[in-house]
Amino acid sequence: MRGNLRYGHRDPVACYPGIDGFRMENLLQPQLLGPAVVALITAVGSYFLIIQKTRKELADETKRALEAFREKAEVAEANERLAFRAEQRAEMQELRQKIQVCETDKADMIVKLAGAQAKITVLEARVCLLENGASQH
C-alpha cells in the first residue's frame, strides 16, 4: 500500500508529491518515450553540429595563424636578404678602397724602382769609368 506517511501510510516514497504512483514502466509509454527520443536525437544532432562548427573554426584559425606565420617569415627573410646585400656592398666598398691603396702603393713602388734602377745605372757607369781609368794608368 502506497501512501503519505503524514496521512498514516507506510510507503516513504509516497510522501513526495509527484512520485506517488510513479513506476518505471511509465517511461516506456509513447507519451514519454516520443519526446525523450526527440530530445535525444536533438541533443546528438546539436553535439555533432557543435563539433563540426568547432572543427571549422579551429581549421580557419589554424589557417590564419599559418598565413600570419608565413608572412612574418617572408618579411624576416626579405629583411635578412636586404641586410646581407647591404653587408656585401659595404665589404665591396672596403675592398675597392683597399685596391685603391694597393694601386697607389704599386705606383709608388714603380717610381722608387725606376729611381733605384737609375741610381744603379749611374753607379754602373761610375764603376766602368773607374775601372777604365784604373786600367789606363
For 50, what's the count of Cα atoms within 13 Å in the CB-facing half-sphere? Answer: 6
Q: What is the pLDDT of residues 34-83, one digit of tens each?
A: 888 899 999 999 999 999 999 999 999 999 999 999 999 999 999 999 99
The three cell numbers of residue 51 are 563539433
Q: What is the pLDDT of residues 100-116, one digit of tens each?
A: 999 999 999 999 999 99
C-alpha angle 64-66-70 in degrees, rounded to nearest 5? 115
Helix, strand or coil for residue 100? helix
How many domains is the chain partitioned into structurally? 1
C-alpha angle 68-73-74 in degrees, rounded to nearest 5? 100
Domain residues for the domain of 97 are 5-136
User: Is pTM beyond 0.75 here?
Assistant: no
Report the pLDDT value the prediction gives residue 135, as an integer from 0 to 100. Answer: 78
